[in-house]
Structure 1
Amino acid sequence: MVDMSNLIYVLAEVREMARSGALDDDGTGALSSMVLDLPSSLDDLAGALLGGGRGGGDVLGEKLDDGKHAAVMGALGGLLRRREETRAALSSSYDGGGGGGGFGWMMACCGAANIGGSTTGGAMVGPSIITDMGDARSNEELVYAVGVNPLMERITIIFRGSVTKSDFVTDSRIAFVRAPHPNKLNGLVAMDRYGGCDDVGLHQGFYEYLLGEKDGRSSKYDEISNIVRRLLREDPARANYKLYVTGHSLGGALATLFGYYASMSPHLPSPITVVSVASPRVGNIEFARSFVELESHGRIRHLRIANHGDPVTLNPTISARRALALSAKAVSPLGYLALLVTGNGEGGEEQVYYHTGIKLKLLRKACPESNRRCEITYSGASILAGAKKPADTDMDAEDFADMEQQRRR
């Protein structure tokens, strides 16, 4: 999931180059066609991007090595290193027999069986397939990809993080909007056993990016849901496939929000598994409580991966309304009074952001007491225990100090 949340940055940028004609100097359009034509196996795409497959990564490397694509080159380098490490591990430990030399689990978890035509039990394993990408209007809309993995029996949705001006504007719109509970969105008004149908408070930018309708076109949520439904319908073998959603930064927030609403869709498999990487907060206390309710009923699972002290994962903390009210309270008593009179005061918990899911925090260095390099906590634990401020329990002293340091800068 982490690799996929990084790979989408590379795919989207390279596909944009292909559409502009920047990839092919020979006039054949071969490399552009390989990148743009979908569905395409991940093995072919990896070959085009990294080398070792038809199309050749060397040509692409020369195109990208112009000083303008440093982020893409860095992501490609990381993918290449992990690819070669996996190849080395498999070549030294995998005997090609049915037992897998103890590395069958690695091949399944890392998708290694799809790299270089590896085999399991003497039979070729079907490759992961990228079936769809929503990146034709990448400067105006969110970017996503959808893939199918027959080996893992899963469909994966990947959201890209912030790259364009539109993405960063979306990040900055931290006001809360009143949004429907997943029951209501999916027409299940009477199903209150899954957390009721009360509206929740969601980050305005994230909500409108994913669920907003524009220029008479359906929302990205509906567009992606219809793709998944099509993939499930067109092959009976996919009847028992699971649905995974992932993304980095903004992509992680969109993945969380998509999983939240998809968890109650009568047309999509459950539980929905969300793996977000460096995701900001998405909603308020009402959202967090309904998320916990959906988790408790087995509708959704969320693993939230965060680097220690990453400021993105510590924000936003409060809504734009509350931030304005607190600022006015500090510098302009009359201005604060005017806000109170108009009903725009700082508000209570409904104006505070909360995280969801199980947090896997990656530490900068091993913990001296236990030599651990990560910590695992559950964001919903305090909600289940009835605590008043669950958001506070999701930030330890070091995280808070890091956030204060960032604020002072």
Structure 2
Amino acid sequence: MVESRNPLASFHRTYSERLAGLSGSEALPLHKFRLTWNAFARLLDLKYEDSFKCDTCGLQPPVVICDGTTIGLNKKLLEPIPDTERESSHHDHPVDNGTKHSDRVFIPNPKIRKLLLQYSSTTHPTEKPFSCEEYKTMIQLMKKNDHLHSLTRFIDLISDQGRNLIAPREFSPFLQDLSKNSPTSAILQLPEQSKAKQYIKEVIHGLDIFSSENQRKLEIIQQDAPVIFDFLSGYGRTAYGVPREVRHLLRDVLLRARNSYAFSNNRTEDNIDYPAPQEDPIACFPCLPKHRGKPVYSLDRTSDRHRRGEDACKKLSNKHPTLSPGIFTMHCMHGVCYGFQAMRQVESPEIPFNILTTRFTKAPEIVIYDNSCRLHQYCLNREPRYFMNTTFLVDRLHWKNHTGF
């Protein structure tokens, strides 16, 4: 069975057919055969830790690839959720570490976002052109927000004081990114200590990034922050280096991105009380035992989660009347499985979030998941500081179906 990699039920069916054909006798029923096999497996001296660990990545892989499968189990075989790690004290005092969605997006006002998207979009003959009145309304609304003053001055610059009602093509992608209802940190996806972010800060303080001696720095920005590189390249080099309006806008973008990871209510990591860990009987992570329990977050108790952007990209699933939704797996970049967990409910960002926060002592550098749009929002709503240096990516196959980033 192990060598052929057949499921237990398939192996038992084949074994029963062969036994009946050879001797006419009946094999053990499936439920007894399962109990016998499990008892035999417990007697074997198997080092599961070695089988679920990559020799290159070690105990905690820096890059994880996770996804759910539709290999369902009989729901009756799944044990109920252990409630011992959610004590009453944690229900009475839920953890509130998350940041507000309105503080994470660059433009909180949906009307401004819509007008900026119209201004920066490539016009089409059948579309209504961006009018002068709409331009004036957009500028007036922007001036009411302090952190949008740099964006206002930049748009005035590239539009020649409103004479051009269509954004230059070289700046359209960057302005469209700013007009999205997504965290500003998702546009950059740069760890705090990355070289690219450091070089962008130098540009903000007046570095001439286009000079020959800074060519290597420009290449790193191009590689790690292509959105910023394209934006800088759109304006190019002037006699005075990068224009002041461009530098001030980059400054405000970085400041806004940093808001995604600020503790709410002046909390710090030292005063967060997490429950004790307890292993889930339907999960198997031999190299990743739980080091802490999962608390009750304040957002888990609210019904209007869309206020923090968790409905940006929904993943629709159908429930089966007798089978579980499937199994959630986690691999490293070399294809080694670090563990799996049977899903009691339909797949959601809560499953990878629980694995990453309770089994990893440090968040992975890169998380690749087909629903990273919602997972990123989910993490920022609950543990933003923990994922401060984590990059969330969607694989190329699923990218076209997502709108969250």
Using structure 2 for the length normalisation, give the TM-score.
Answer: 0.26
Greater strand percent: which structure? 1
Q: Which of the pair has more CA radius of gyration? A: 2
Query: Which protein, 1 or 2, shows the higher relative CO under an 8 Å CA cutoff with sep ≥ 6?
Result: 2
Using structure 1 for the length normalisation, give the TM-score.
Answer: 0.26
